Structure 1
């Protein structure tokens, strides 16, 4: 019986031409799909648009309307907008979008121009005078412990904000040994190792209670929230202002409510402008970051110790996970040598410190 070679007869091999044809068709379809895909410069238009909008927002933040406090809200958290840059970069690389990657240069360059200087350590080792400012919190569960922590800081001049009548004796007792001179005006106080004179309250137009919605109803504070004093140093008199501006908070129907704070900032700027001593410092909880437009009249006269001599952003609030620096040390006529944030106390703010020299 003769065997039939299927390879020779072509019966079994009849599939080969079809297989080759199918492979060619698959390859052609694949080539068509590849050729029809957008190139790297055409991919990711949405990502590129988002990168452009981010860059413009950071660049033109001062142009954002302050209706319902929107502008202040953006400027308060403006440094954190930089976190969107690496997120968009990862998405652009995943999409292989050259357009989005190049567009991201805009927000990156603008952010570095605004905040890059804060990333380096600009401090110097020596200073003539150490200043500390701390919002001690009206609801502080351990004022005596906070006083001990502040006394251990080694500050020459210590400013406290949100001092309640109930806690005042505890601060006075805890700080008496380290600071023989002090004055308390309403809710703010100044403790000093050096003699004080010409102490007086400063009217910063705070006709709204200082506690805001977050404070307990049984805690009552006086409305006076700023003071001025002269510290006698071996280099001459230093004018010291301590201030606690009004609270800001999100309110239904009003948005980011800043009315009380902004009114206080304007009055404080007028007081600074009227100060005759060329050497002065402003310590306090301003309830806003130094880049907030509400403080333009103040920052045109004083400059931030943190920006001039700090290491990092120096966030001070909230104490458990600080996201903004709303506690400030501003100076005029003296040089900031270093600026830093102290460890948390029993307060919802962290103390801020600065060393200055003549």
Structure 2
């Protein structure tokens, strides 16, 4: 078979184009560190790479949510710490006022100081972070705590009226801000709402910080004899005696308690026994912020564990990604250099193979 000049140049051009294509591919691999730049080059690896990238995106999203949640909880804990400082100051002022050496005017001064702390406490409970009220649960746009007729109100509900075990209280306590951190978000088949066990709660309901409901003290006579228990049942009385003793209804939340303590200090008929009862209730109420801090600490530990888990997962996915679509830099550069030599050799061969014509001498 006779090989014509046209056949020779045609084969040469085809081979040169193939060398050029391979050289360009290797050049891209060296420049990008990836085995392929389009799906068509390696469909199987491209599908695997897509799955790995999707998993990496999910992990990154979970990590971002964890970081945001941790920042929110750190802010909440710092705010609660400030609240505890105010309550400690109020405790000291109350004890100072209960000292038997205090005059009427001195007790009134202390009452004024307590009302100042009470006002500061309300501001603290309505703390905002990035235009979000941090203690309002899902209510992030309006102040969760307000005062109506001198009584504390939380998200529209009078705190004194929230009794333990009531549906309203349970709803307020479970009302929180939630975020997806990879627990497998699921939905309730009946209500269609997100299952709260499948997401992470990162906010602190304000009602847990202050306390709720009221307590009643027993009715006593002038001699201190208990005439009625806290349910109003008569437990002591002489024959034909009309029950007309003294009883108290005491708020269980720190805000209203501060107001009651201040009012007692201001009262002309100030009673140490009454104040002692109020002080005892106040001490109980001041434990609520500490319990909330403990819960935040437990959640922080959980997020720390989740962060460590996702860091390991991210590392493994990045290794897998490199194995699927990455190239060995040294091998890729060596192959590129070899291909470059072959391409240059082909060009030199072509200059000898392809005949010169009159056009090569035209300027």
Q: Structures share a fold, TM > 0.5?
A: no
Higher helix share: 2
Which is bigger in relative contact order (C-alpha 8 A, separation at least 6)? 2
Higher strand share: 1
TM-score scaled by length of structure 1: 0.21
**Larger C-alpha radius of gyration, 1 or 2?**
2
